[in-house]
Amino acid sequence: MPVPHAPRLLEIIVHIVPDSYPQEISWEITDSSGTVLFAGNYLGDTVCVPSNSCFQFNIYDSFGDGIIAPGGFWLYSDAVLVAQGNNYGFGATFPFNCPQGMFCSGPINITSFGTYYGQYDNTWYTYTPTVNGTYNINTCGLNTCDTKIWIYTSCPANQTQESPMGTYAYNDSSNCGSQANTNAIFQAGVTYYIRIGDNMDDCPDSVGFVFSYVGAVSGCTYPLSCNYNPLATVSDSSCIYPPNVLCAGSDLKFDSIAFVNSMFLMTHIAQTCDVNEGCVLGYGTRYVITFSSKIDNIGTTDYYIGNYVSNPNMFNLNNCHGHDHYEGYGDYRLYDMQGNLIPAGHKNGFCVMDLCGFGQYHCGDMGISVGCYDEYGAGTQCQWIDITNVPDGDYRLAIIFNSMHLPDALGRQEINYANNATQICIRIIRNAQGIPSFIKLPACTPFVDCMGLPGGTAVTDCNGVCNGPSVWGDTYNDNSLDSLDVNEYLTMLTNVSAPATTCNDLSGDTTLTVYDAALANWCLQNGNHTHPGSINHNHCIFPHNITNPNDTVGLTITAANLTLNYIDIGFKSPTANLKAYQFKIHGINIQNVVSLASPVSFPVDLRFNAFNNNITALSVLDSSLARSNSVQPLCRIYFTALTDTVICIEEIIEMINANAERTIDYIFGNCINTTTTSVAEMATGNINIYPNPATDNLMIHFGGFKKQPSQLFVFDATGRLVNKTSLAENKEWATLNVAQMQSGVYTLMVNDENGMVVRTRFVKE
């Protein structure tokens, strides 16, 4: 009996040129079922795989910034380059040696109209039309299982997701039961990626579909008509004009029943994007109330939005995911029973699209047709309010769509705004472990704005005046937030004292620091200030105070010249790109401060306060100091006179990362002994804490002390002493119970045997 030949082997070379953080890089090769066959790190490898199988190469970065150029990765299969890159975020997947249609990277090219059957229950196709028009894709009559259609303009990161997130067009069910049927408008010369699949793996094998050309987009092509269709290229003589009763307009109606029935509490592990986009108000485990939002257009005209290219003023591109966020669409508000707005997150409309029948609007050209609807399902990212730090009590949750009563892209107003909002009253309670939950209250007075109008748009200004003139951060007093205000913040910080007011204290901590200036600058750089509703953008909602517990920044004195009268300051930041800083120096009278960072990569507005020896810096442009595991030069401080026998970094006031977040800061290294012109240890030891953030007990380790500290001090964000604890003698570990402390950022401090201060920060959740 002949012995079957083993399949030929492919030589797979994983070549990696790491950046300065090689420990963050890892990779694996899996088979089509997801079983890991090989794995490695930044050193790469050469392996062999059978030539008759399909594989995936997965590369990861634990920090989330991929491999910083000029580094990168290259994947070769029998000396043929099959994948390469560097800027892949937290991770990327590259199939190779796989059959056509299994993955988006190897799709089946559609060259003609007709009926197709895929080999898999999710099969990928591409089509590049030669003419503009409407094209129909449907699975009706060819399948008995629950099917779906996804259309993209590029391969998505998640090729198996069930939701329409990131799609150009999408359909789940239509007029043929559980089958899918969609009309999509394609532009000539553009390649579209079509995924034909099933709902929740309902189909046992392949899914059949029909692909056909419907024709040119027809409709009213006259822009001044009431029913002008901006997508139409062929007139169908359907235009209507005032005073025809059909000219009334669109009418967005929120489905309050679907909202109330879908509410539930879930936990969410907050990532950087969640915090940056204002979906949650802190890092770590967040407790959120999620729900569905269904919006019907019950009017007589379409609600047309378009896209960023055609209507840039209606969109914001400053977000982690690179999506066109339609601003002013969804607004989720939590009020206490006195009508005060409680920070609980924010919602923007990513893709406003038709989710019924054929549907003419999609992510490439947004809108809601007459008689159609758009829906965000419970559990979708940002489809929630964050109650993690909301105190127990009764609250009113208001869901409002088009809260600013903005016209659509064609300037058409809705005919009725009263049905754009709904509300429910809830009671937030916590168990013995402090985990929140909620119950729905049976009766709730209708939502009214601060003018007493049901569903109205009036809001209080930062001074609490309804529809008042005051603007958050308007330190220049010209009734707007602009670059003049950022400069005024920095000027105020060089004065003898900078008084905090309700409107200029953007962090809400009753103290003015460079963090407030950084928040104002962050709002200017990331908010959409050409959009009338930009005041509601999450980057411009104040007070805003977030500490990133994953980012640590340390300061040290790196050099001193007592002849030329200057000292150099360096910083160490392995995880955070530094945007702004403020610290206090001891032992000298400051004459001037200059930046030691490159003025090209980090143009910075650097100032000092001669009255309190504070040094303040902010890069007002879109730049920051790149993170590094080694100490980098920060600034040089010139002085006129010595005021003590030692020069020390007395206190770090703020270290702000590129996302306008506070970081965990610490002082390390040396003080300068001016009597001997030598370097003396600033402190004999260091403090390490775990966990951070903490909820109940904080474990504290003392390392390197010649004599263990005898007392431990804890200060809150305002500098108030909140805890003083005696420490057991010669103990390396101590436990601090923080369960009764309010949520926030605290400074933990001890003195060594020479009386020098050693400190670190922690976050109480």
Strands (E) in 402-448, as ranges, are: 421-430, 436-440
- Determine the pLDDT at residue 555: 95
Beta strands in 402-459 (DSSP E): 421-430, 436-440
Helix, strand, coil % over all residues of the chain, rounded to 5: 5, 40, 50
What residues contact residue 666 under an 8 Å CB cut-off, 6+ apart?
552, 553, 554, 555, 652, 759, 760, 761
Burial of 657 (0-12, 13-18, 19+ CB in 10 A): buried
- For 674, residues 6+ apart whose C-beta sits below 8 A from its C-beta are 562, 587, 642, 644, 645, 646, 647
Angle between helices 514-526 and 483-492 (to 10 degrees): 170
The phi, psi pair for 485, rounded to 5°, reads: -70, -40
Single out the residue of 319, 104, 121 nearest to residue 192, CA to CA. 104
Would you call 602 helix, strand, or coil by DSSP?
Answer: coil
Q: Which residues are registered as beta bridge partners of 749?
A: 713, 759
Residue 688, φ and ψ in degrees, nearest 5 = -120, 140
pTM given for the model: 0.74
Please list the rounded mean pLDDT of every run of 10 residues in the chain (765 residues). Answer: 71 94 94 90 94 93 88 95 90 91 92 92 93 91 90 84 80 80 87 92 87 90 86 86 85 90 91 81 91 91 82 65 63 83 69 76 84 84 89 91 83 88 92 92 80 76 89 92 94 84 93 96 71 48 88 93 93 93 96 94 94 95 90 95 92 94 89 66 67 85 77 76 79 85 82 66 82
Give the integer Cα–Cα distance in Å for 524 and 534. 10
Q: Residues of 305-338 as b/e, b for ≥16 C-beta within 10 angstroms? A: bbbbeebeebbbeebeeebbbbbbbbbbbbbeee
536: exposed, middle or buried (C-beta count within 10 Å: 0-12, 13-18, 19+)?
buried
Domains of the chain by start residue, with CATH: 9-96 (no CATH), 108-216 (2.60.120.380), 249-440 (no CATH), 684-765 (2.60.40.1220)
- Return phi, psi of residue 714, to 5°: -125, 125
Tokens of 704: 């390197």
Kindly calculate the radius of gyration of the chain based on its CA atoms and give it in whole angstroms.
30
Backbone angles phi, psi at 22, to 5 degrees: -65, -25
Could you tell me which of 470, 465, 385, 474 has the C-alpha nearest to residue 423? Answer: 385
Nearest alpha carbon to residue 164 among 308, 366, 307:
366
Identify the CA nearest to 749 among candidates 689, 677, 663.
Answer: 689
For residue 610, give the nearest of 505, 494, 757, 464 by alpha carbon: 494
Two tokens, residue 214: 């419907």
User: What tokens appear for 635 in the block?
Assistant: 């600034």
Nearest to 434 by CA among 481, 383, 391, 477: 391
